[in-house]
Amino acid sequence: MPVQITTADYRALAELRYQIRHFLSESDHAARRVGLEPQQYLLLLMVRGLPPGMMPSVRFLAERLGLKHNSTVELINRMEARGYVQRKRNSSDRRHALVQLLAPGQQLLERVARQRITEVRAGGVELVQAMTAVLGYRRRRRPSSPRRK
């Protein structure tokens, strides 16, 4: 049975979209304030915030950034020229280069990340509320468990 979409659902979805766009816009501004383009900040963040067990290969970073392989290579080239990252050959598979964060890149990333985390912790309630509204937790109650006698 298709889900019935109510006016409240549309409003919740619109609010979530607004909150996400606001968060991303503020992240872009924070990156620019330290001299990074938004994609440069995202590259640093993706390298530093890898999921456990993942390697920072160009292919993996391209996927995480939503970029084509060649665009990711160009981004890494620019970041390498600025001394923010370095490519090294994967010791287990020499065909693949891995991207490592260098100290200047780590420092810029930390400045932006510290600010973003502080702002989210201080004002992220609106984002959580918007997500909660879309998920429908306010309207739907969990089925109660059978009562035991």
Q: How many CB atoms neighbour CB 99 within 10 A? A: 25
Write down the CATH number for the domain with range 7-134.
1.10.10.10
How are the residues of the chain apportioned to helix, strand and coil, as percentages rounded to the nearest 5? 60, 5, 30
Domain ranges of the chain: 7-134
What is the C-alpha to C-alpha distance for residues 85 and 104, in angstroms, rounded to an integer? 8
One-letter amino acid for residue 116 of the chain: R
For residue 96, the model assigns a pLDDT of 77
Q: What are the tens digits of pLDDT across the range 66-86?
A: 999 999 999 999 999 999 999
What is the C-alpha to C-alpha distance for residues 80 and 10, in angstroms, rounded to an integer? 44
CA distances from 117 to 66, 74, 91, 107, 114 (A): 23, 28, 34, 15, 5
For residue 140, the model assigns a pLDDT of 47
Write down the pTM of the prediction.
Answer: 0.81
